[in-house]
C-alpha cells in the first residue's frame, strides 16, 4: 500500500472518530494541569518549611534518637552525651592520627566505622549507664544533693557568661556548642539526669561494707602491691659487643655452645656475662656503700664517668613490684638488708643488693581547701595582692562568724576557684603526702604539730590555698588497700546490675539528626 493511500485511510478513520485527533492527544486538560502545579507548589513549600524547621532545632527537641532502658531519649539529650564523649577524647585524637581540622564523619577508624560513628557508640554506652542508674535513683527516691544543683547552676551561669562575651544569645551559644535542639531547659534536664545517676552510684559505692580486719588481711596477702623496695643494681648484658664477639671467635671460642652452670644451662656467650655479674656479687667487701665503686670497675670507659660523678648511680629507691625473677627476690618478705644475688631479667644478668622494704605507713590527712588565683601565668604582684586580700577578707569574715568547719565549707563555696571540689566544701579525705603535688600544702598539712581546727593561707606558684585541718587519717597503705578493695567490689556489683539492662536501640529516623562534627 502506498504512503498516500495509508495517509488517506488514517484521515478518514479520524473523521469517523475511530482515531483521536493528534492535537487533542497532546493537549492536557487545563484543570488537571492547574491541580498538578498546585500539588508541586505545596510539596515545595513543605520541603522548604521542613528544612527551616529542622534548621531551627525544634524537631530535635522532641525526636527520639534512641530508646535506652525502655525510655526514649531525644536527639538533644543524646547530643549532650556525644559532646561530653568528644570533649573527653579531644586531647588524644591527634595521637590516633585524627586530623582535627576535618570532620570526624569523613575519617575512618577502621574499614567499617568513622570516628563520628565511634564517638556516637561511646556516647550511647554512657547514656545507657546514665539512664539505668538515674532510673534506679528515681525508683528508690534518691534526689540530687545541694552540691549537685549548685554545680549545675554554676555551669549554666558560665554558659550564659560565655555567650555574652561572644556577643551571641545563650540559645545560639548552646546550639553552637551542643547542636541544634539544645535549649537551656533540656540541657539542665540532661545534666540533672547525669548527676542523679552519679549520685546513685556514689551511694552504692560508699555503701559497700568492708571491715578493718578485712582490709588488714587483704594487705598482708597482697603486700607486693602496696610496699616498695630500695636496692642497688648493676646489669650485665647477655650479649657481647661486636668487637668482643669477633675477638673471642678468633680465639676459637664456640659462643653458641651450651654449658652447665650453677643456675642451669646457658650458651657460652651468656656464661661470660654471668661470670662478670658473679664476680661483682662475690667481690670482697661488697656493701651498699662500696657497690657503686666496685661496679664501676666492670663498665666501659664511656660509662665510667657516670659512676664516678654519681655515687648513687646504681641506687634504686622505692621501686614498685613488677613480674619477674628479680622482683620476686627483692619483694620476698624474708629479705634482709645487705643480701646479694644475681638475677636473670631476660636480656641481662642483674646483680642486686637489697637495702630495705619500704612500707607506706605514713599517716594521711583530711583537710578542706579553697583555692584562689590571679589570671593565668600572671606575674603582676598587684594582681597577686588583690587575690591575697580577697582570701584574707574571707578568712576574717569566717573568724568573726565563730570559725568552725561548717563555716569553712561555706567559705569554700563562696570563694574557691576549684570547681572540682568547691561544691563539696573543698574536701580532701585521707590524702597522702604528694597527692596534690604542691610542696607548700604538704609542708603545712603534714606538719606533726597539726591539730584539728588549724587553718592557714599559703601561697604557691599556682595561687593561694586557704586550708582547714580536719583530722589525721589512717596509714597510707591501709587507705589504698581499702580503696582497691572497694573499687573491685563495686566493679563486680556494677557489672551484675548492668547485666539486666536491655540493648539500646537507635531510632531509624531520629538518629539521623544527631550532631555531626
Same domain, 199 and 286: no
**Higher confidence at residue 480 or residue 263?**
480
> Is residue 321 over pLDDT 90?
yes
pLDDT at 3 over 60: no
The least confident of 142-151, 293-302, 447-456, 466-475 is 293-302
CATH (domain of 136):
1.10.4030
Q: At 377, is the pLDDT very low, low, confident or very high (cuts 50, 70, 90)?
A: low
Q: What is the mean pLDDT of residues 136-160?
A: 93
Has residue 72 been placed in a domain? yes
Nearest to 138 by CA among 195, 209, 207, 66: 195
Question: Do both 383 and 458 map to the same domain?
Answer: yes
Position 213 in a domain: no
**Residue 190: pLDDT above 50?**
yes
Q: What is the pLDDT of residue 47?
A: 37
Phi, psi (rounded to 5 degrees) for 225: -80, -15
Average pLDDT, the chain: 85
Flag whether pLDDT at 497 surpasses 70.
yes
CB 411 within 8 A of CB 398: yes
Residue 516 domain-assigned (yes or no): no
Same domain, 66 and 198: yes
The verdict on 51 and 73 lying in the same domain is no
Phi, psi of 348 (to 5 degrees): -140, 155
Residue 308 and residue 382 share a domain: no
Q: How far apart are CA 123 and CA 324, in angstroms?
A: 40
Per-residue confidence band for 334, with pLDDT thresholds at 50, 70 and 90: very high
- Which of the two residues, 100 and 6, has the higher pLDDT score? 100
46 has a pLDDT exceeding 50: no
Instruction: Give the residue from 358, 386, 418 where a domain finishes.
Output: 358
462 or 261, higher pLDDT: 462
Regarding whether 170 and 109 lie in a shared domain, the answer is yes
Could you tell me if 283 and 264 lie in one domain? yes
Residue 217 falls inside a structural domain: no
Asked whether residue 349 falls in the same domain as residue 368, the answer is: no
At residue 39, does pLDDT exceed 50? Answer: no
Residue at 157 is within a domain: yes
Q: How many domains does the chain have?
A: 4
Are 116 and 202 contained in the same domain? yes
Could you tell me if 248 and 162 lie in one domain?
no
Does 509 map to a domain? no
What is the reported pLDDT for 244? 65
Residue 454, domain member (yes or no): yes
Residue 138: give the domain boundaries: 59-207
Q: Are residues 50 and 82 in the same domain?
A: no
Domain of residue 449, CATH code: 3.10.50.40
285 and 330 inside one domain: yes
What pLDDT, on the 0 to 100 scale, is given for residue 144?
A: 95
Those residues whose C-beta lies under 8 Å from the C-beta of residue 216, and which sit 6 or more positions away, are 478
> Residue 114 region, left (φ>0) first, then alpha (ψ -120 to 50), else beta?
beta
CATH number of the domain encompassing residue 260: 3.10.50
The reported pLDDT for the residue numbered 355 is: 97
Does the residue 220 lie in any domain? no
Where is the domain boundary, 358, 384, 405?
A: 358
Instruction: Give me the sign of the Cα torsion angle 305, 307, 311, 316.
Output: positive
Q: What is the mean pLDDT of residues 428-434?
A: 94
Amino acid at each position: 500500500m502506498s504512503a498516500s493511500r495509508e495517509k488517506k485511510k488514517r484521515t478518514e478513520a479520524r473523521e469517523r472518530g475511530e482515531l483521536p485527533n493528534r492535537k487533542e492527544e497532546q493537549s492536557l486538560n487545563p484543570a488537571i494541569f492547574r491541580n498538578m502545579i498546585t500539588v508541586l507548589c505545596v510539596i515545595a513549600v513543605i520541603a522548604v518549611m521542613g528544612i527551616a524547621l529542622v534548621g531551627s532545632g525544634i524537631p530535635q527537641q522532641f525526636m527520639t534518637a534512641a530508646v535506652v532502658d525502655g525510655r526514649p531519649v531525644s536527639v538533644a539529650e543524646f547530643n549532650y552525651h556525644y559532646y561530653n564523649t568528644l570533649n573527653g577524647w579531644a586531647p588524644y585524637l591527634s595521637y590516633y592520627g585524627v586530623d582535627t581540622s576535618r570532620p570526624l564523619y569523613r575519617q575512618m577508624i577502621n574499614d567499617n566505622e568513622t570516628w563520628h560513628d565511634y564517638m556516637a557508640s561511646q556516647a550511647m554506652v554512657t547514656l545507657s549507664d546514665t539512664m539505668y542508674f538515674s532510673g534506679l535513683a528515681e525508683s528508690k527516691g534518691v534526689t540530687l544533693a545541694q552540691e549537685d544543683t549548685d554545680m549545675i547552676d554554676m555551669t549554666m551561669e558560665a554558659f550564659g557568661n560565655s555567650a555574652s562575651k561572644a556577643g551571641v544569645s545563650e540559645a545560639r551559644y548552646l546550639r553552637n556548642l551542643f547542636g541544634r535542639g539544645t535549649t537551656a531547659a533540656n540541657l539542665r534536664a540532661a545534666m540533672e539526669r547525669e548527676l542523679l545517676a552519679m549520685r546513685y552510684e556514689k551511694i552504692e559505692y560508699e555503701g559497700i561494707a568492708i571491715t578493718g580486719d578485712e582490709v588488714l588481711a587483704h594487705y598482708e596477702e597482697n603486700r607486693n602491691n602496696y610496699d616498695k623496695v630500695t636496692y642497688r643494681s648493676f646489669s650485665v648484658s647477655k650479649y657481647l659487643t661486636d668487637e668482643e664477639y669477633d675477638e673471642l671467635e678468633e680465639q676459637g671460642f664456640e659462643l653458641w655452645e651450651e654449658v652447665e652452670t650453677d643456675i642451669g644451662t646457658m650458651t657460652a656467650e651468656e656464661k661470660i656475662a654471668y661470670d662478670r655479674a658473679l664476680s661483682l656479687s662475690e667481690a670482697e667487701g661488697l656493701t651498699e656503700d662500696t657497690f657503686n665503686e666496685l661496679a664501676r670497675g666492670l663498665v666501659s670507659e664511656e660509662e665510667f664517668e657516670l659512676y664516678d660523678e654519681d655515687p648513687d648511680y646504681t641506687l634504686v629507691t622505692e621501686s614498685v613490684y613488677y613480674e619477674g625473677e628479680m622482683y620476686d627476690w627483692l619483694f620476698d618478705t624474708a629479705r634482709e638488708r645487705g643480701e646479694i644475688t644475681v638475677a636473670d631479667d631476660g636480656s641481662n644478668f642483674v646483680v642486686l643488693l637489697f637495702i630495705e622494704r619500704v612500707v607506706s605507713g605514713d599517716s594521711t590527712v583530711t583537710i578542706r581547701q579553697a583555692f584562689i588565683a590571679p589570671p593565668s601565668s600572671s606575674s603582676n604582684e598587684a594582681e597577686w595582692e588583690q587575690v591575697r586580700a580577697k582570701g584574707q577578707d574571707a578568712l576574717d569574715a569566717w573568724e568573726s562568724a565563730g570559725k568552725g568547719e561548717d563555716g569553712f565549707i561555706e567559705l569554700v563555696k563562696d570563694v574557691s576557684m576549684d570547681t572540682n571540689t568547691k561544691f563539696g566544701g573543698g574536701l580532701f579525705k585521707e590524702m597522702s603526702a604528694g597527692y596534690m603535688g604542691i610542696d607548700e600544702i604538704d609542708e603545712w598539712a603534714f606538719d606533726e604539730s597539726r591539730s584539728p581546727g588549724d587553718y592557714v593561707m599559703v601561697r604557691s606558684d599556682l595561687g593561694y590555698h586557704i586550708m582547714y585541718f580536719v583530722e589525721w587519717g589512717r596509714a597510707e597503705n591501709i587507705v589504698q588497700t581499702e580503696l582497691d578493695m572497694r573499687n573491685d567490689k563495686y566493679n563486680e556489683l556494677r557489672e551484675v546490675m548492668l547485666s539486666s539492662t536491655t540493648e539500646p536501640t537507635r531510632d531509624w529516623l531520629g538518629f539521623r539528626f544527631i550532631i555531626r562534627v
